[in-house]
Chain A
Amino acid sequence: MGGLPAFESDTEWLRGEGAACDVVMSSRVRLARNLAGIPFAPKMSDDDREEVLERSRAQILAGGVHPKVMWIDLRQISPLERSVLVERQLISGQLASGKAFGHSGGGRGAGEKRARGVAVGLPDERLSIMVNEEDHLRIQVIRSGLGLAQALEEVVRADDALEAGLDYAFGARFGYLTCCPTNVGTGARFSVMMHLPGLRLTGEIEKVKRAADDMGLAVRGFHGEGSETTGDLYQLSNQTTLGKSERVLLSEIEREIVPRVADYERHARRVLTERRREVLEDQVHRAIGTGLHARLLATGEAMAVLSAVRLGAVLGVVEGIDQSAVNALMLAVQPAHLQRVLGRELNQQERKGERATLVRERLARALGAG
């Protein structure tokens, strides 16, 4: 696994800091851009893809985009290493597999050789620029906690630096022209990843999903490996990109929607601590029991344990938990990271065993800290 650097730091999205970090894990702004004069993904030739990759790479590495950037040609690293990047939220699953957007032919594994890459801003991994995803460029910035405004500012800076050397496909009427018309206009997708265990425990999560949908937001779970739950992590994002400026989109989600959902979650947590304390304590301690004693853990089970422990820590059910260690575990239990930590490939059964061992050891340490 020589292709990737060690990635010793915590990823930004799991740092657990920033505004509203009791409920909001991370904020992300992503811009979709295409180069003028080159077809979009469904109509690109291999040469077109090479050209987009090369021109983008040159502009990214020309300086000005970010002080320290790591460029990764995704054809040159292993599937496991690509999965590590997916789990760190630096690339999409589609970019990892090289799945041909809009192509039906090719069959399994045909995407492997497609020219595609990613640039990652170091050392904090806040910035990543995907090349030859559904759009030629997908530029994203992730910030810990509720920080869409800072993320927008950073992503705009990167966008400006790229645009200084690349002509974008843009029209006065439809704005930034994207492969899929659902992204046209600003090309901007604002997403906030929220931790909502209280609403699940009080049975109100569906209501929130419906309300969010009424407000034109998409709600989806965090991508885990096939699993029962994904640690109560939900991503809220805007669906509209045309007819509203970046600032309007930002303020709708950051100032109106997210605080409302966050308050709803906090209310649920208050109800739990004040009126259903036993239920809450039972859930948290059961989770700790599982984490400290299980011998086999699927990703989803591990995430459920960590979600409950995190809730217990935030609400003071368990004192003196090292929260950053719990957050870091949420990444470490993901399949590719687990194999990376252990330095070898594991089948699913082996992963369950090793995952349980890892959780046992690290959770014991996190609980002992304080």
Chain B
Amino acid sequence: MMCSRCGEREATIHEVVIDSDGERAEEHLCEVCAQEAGVNSNVQVPIAQLISSFVVAEPGSEPEPARARPGGSCSSCGLTYGDFRKTGLLGCESCYDAFADRLTPLLQRAHEGGTHHVGRSPARGAGVKTIGASEAAARVAQLRRQLAEAVRNERYERAAQLQREIDGIETIRGDGGTGS
């Protein structure tokens, strides 16, 4: 298969792209064009694509709270949201706070609805804890609602998946939170 950009070299990188309708499309690139396009083989969903599709899909729906005005930047590293939209990469750990409101819907799209971390956490360091008990409870409640919905619609595969996720959260809480 030839590269879909240059049409000259064989395509060796096959990227699955999810568009605004949740439709799946494939892009086949040669190594040279992939490098130029910034397609990192480690990133399975090109987030830049996700971002633009999100914006196209729901114009004007972007939340605009005070601290994340358009053109605002991370006070710690100076990255603007525009920079992020261009590259799909953040500049520092504080970016997650600076752009939290705008990142949340993107994260939900990229992670099958996930908005909060569940799983291992460092044993040491500042502010370390796994998902808090109340957050976990809220997430479990949300998952249970989705589970009931899935069963109602006879989407049993999805239901099984949700059940596993619920089990996962409950196991981790049962372990006392370190999950290691």
> Chain A residues in contact with chain B, CB under 8 A?
34, 36, 38-43, 92-94, 97, 99, 101-102, 133-134, 138, 156, 159-160, 163-164, 167-177, 179-186, 188-189, 210, 213, 216, 218-221, 223-228, 230, 237, 239-248, 251-252, 300
| A247 vs B161: C-alpha distance when bound (angstroms) | 13
Of the candidates B1, B16, B89, which one forms a contact with A41 in the assembled complex, judged by CB atoms under 8 Å apart?
A: B89
Known: A177-B93, A223-B41. A252 touches B164 (CB 8 A): yes
Contact at A242–B107, with CB atoms within 8 Å? Answer: yes
Contact at B114–A244, with CB atoms within 8 Å? Answer: yes
Known: A228-B10, A239-B110. A177 touches B116 (CB 8 A): no
B150 beta carbon closer than 8 Å to chain A: no
Q: Chain B residues near A225: list those with CB within 8 A.
A: 12, 31
Contact at A245–B41, with CB atoms within 8 Å? Answer: no
Q: How many residues of B contact A (CB 8 A)?
A: 71
* Given A168-B122, A175-B117, A246-B179; 20 other pairs, CB 8 A cutoff: A36-B93, A36-B126, A156-B120, A169-B93, A171-B96, A172-B127, A173-B116, A175-B119, A177-B93, A180-B43, A180-B47, A180-B88, A181-B90, A182-B43, A183-B42, A184-B96, A225-B31, A240-B111, A245-B118, A252-B161
A108 to chain B, nearest CB (A): 10
| A170 vs B93: C-alpha distance when bound (angstroms) | 8
Binary flags per residue of B111-143, CB closer than 8 Å to A gives 1, else 0 = 111111111111111111111100100010000
Q: Chain A residues near B120: list those with CB within 8 A.
A: 156, 159, 186, 245-246
Q: Which 9 A-B pairs have the closest CB atoms?
A: A243-B114, A175-B117, A218-B44, A248-B168, A245-B119, A43-B91, A242-B114, A242-B111, A169-B93
A218 to chain B, nearest CB (A): 3
B76-100 interface with A by 8 A CB criterion:
77-79, 83, 87-93, 95-97
Known: A173-B117, A175-B121. A243 touches B112 (CB 8 A): yes
A142 to chain B, nearest CB (A): 15
B106 beta carbon closer than 8 Å to chain A: yes
| A170 vs B9: C-alpha distance when bound (angstroms) | 41
> Can you name the residue of chain A whose Cβ is closest to the Cβ of B8?
A226
| A225 vs B11: C-alpha distance when bound (angstroms) | 9
29 pairs, A vs B, C-beta closer than 8 Å: A40-B91, A43-B77, A94-B41, A134-B43, A159-B120, A168-B122, A168-B125, A170-B125, A172-B132, A174-B116, A176-B117, A180-B88, A182-B44, A184-B96, A184-B117, A185-B118, A218-B45, A220-B13, A221-B13, A227-B10, A239-B44, A240-B110, A242-B116, A243-B111, A243-B114, A243-B116, A243-B118, A247-B168, A248-B118
- Total A-B contacts with CB atoms under 8 angstroms apart: 227
Of the candidates A36, A210, A245, which one forms a contact with B179 in the assembled complex, judged by CB atoms under 8 Å apart?
A: A245
Of the candidates A181, A186, A216, which one forms a contact with B112 in the assembled complex, judged by CB atoms under 8 Å apart?
A: A216
Q: Chain A residues near B117: list those with CB within 8 A.
A: 171-176, 184-186, 242-243
Of the candidates A38, A245, A252, which one forms a contact with B169 in the assembled complex, judged by CB atoms under 8 Å apart?
A: A245
Contact at B107–A184, with CB atoms within 8 Å? Answer: yes
| A28 vs B161: C-alpha distance when bound (angstroms) | 22
B150 to chain A, nearest CB (A): 14
A131 to chain B, nearest CB (A): 15
A150 to chain B, nearest CB (A): 16
Q: Which residue of B1, B90, B165 has the most chain A CB atoms within 10 A of its CB atom?
A: B90
Of the candidates A181, A221, A224, A252, which one forms a contact with B103 in the assembled complex, judged by CB atoms under 8 Å apart?
A: A181
